[in-house]
């Protein structure tokens, strides 16, 4: 029983550490002049700067800024499982780059984020 409690405490600590590192990267992104107008969440975290027509992918290690003009297409995808669908994501196809996936908890969140992203890019 003690080991289970220690494992839960350890997992919570790692989760908090990851969240804190992600917040540090987001703060660093903002201090570089990126104006976060929309936070679409996901993993990596997808944030939008409508003013400068850019989006950024934020992880615990770094962030990547992408001009909206570099996005060729975007779509919501999922994997069909035996019993249920899984791996809900938005896939961004970029000019001269491999596709980038942003993973979401469920299909509803992925589609809502995609709708907001596509509305911003119009």
Answering whether pTM is above 0.85, one says no
Q: Which residues is 24 bridged to in the sheet?
A: none
CATH of the domain at 26: 2.30.29
pLDDT score of 95 more than 80: yes
Structure tokens at 18: 């990851």
Segment 33-62 shows an average pLDDT of 93
Backbone angles phi, psi at 45, to 5 degrees: -65, 130
pLDDT digits (tens, 9 = 90+) for 13-33: 776 666 666 677 788 888 899
Supply the range of the domain harboring residue 52.
Answer: 2-121
Contact 89, 83 (CB under 8 A): no
Instruction: Tally the domains of the chain.
Output: 1
């Amino acid at each position: 029983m003690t080991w289970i409690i220690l494992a839960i405490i350890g997992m919570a600590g790692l989760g908090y550490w990851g969240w804190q590192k992600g917040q540090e990267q987001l703060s660093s992104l903002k201090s570089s002049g990126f104006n976060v107008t929309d936070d679409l969440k996901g993993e990596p975290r997808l944030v939008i700067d409508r003013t400068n027509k850019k989006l950024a992918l934020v992880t615990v290690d770094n962030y990547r800024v992408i001009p909206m003009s570099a996005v060729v297409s975007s779509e919501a995808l999922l994997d069909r499982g035996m019993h249920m669908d899984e791996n809900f994501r938005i896939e961004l196809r970029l000019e001269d780059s491999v596709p980038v996936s942003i993973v979401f908890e469920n299909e509803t969140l992925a589609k809502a984020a995609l709708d907001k992203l596509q509305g911003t890019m119009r």
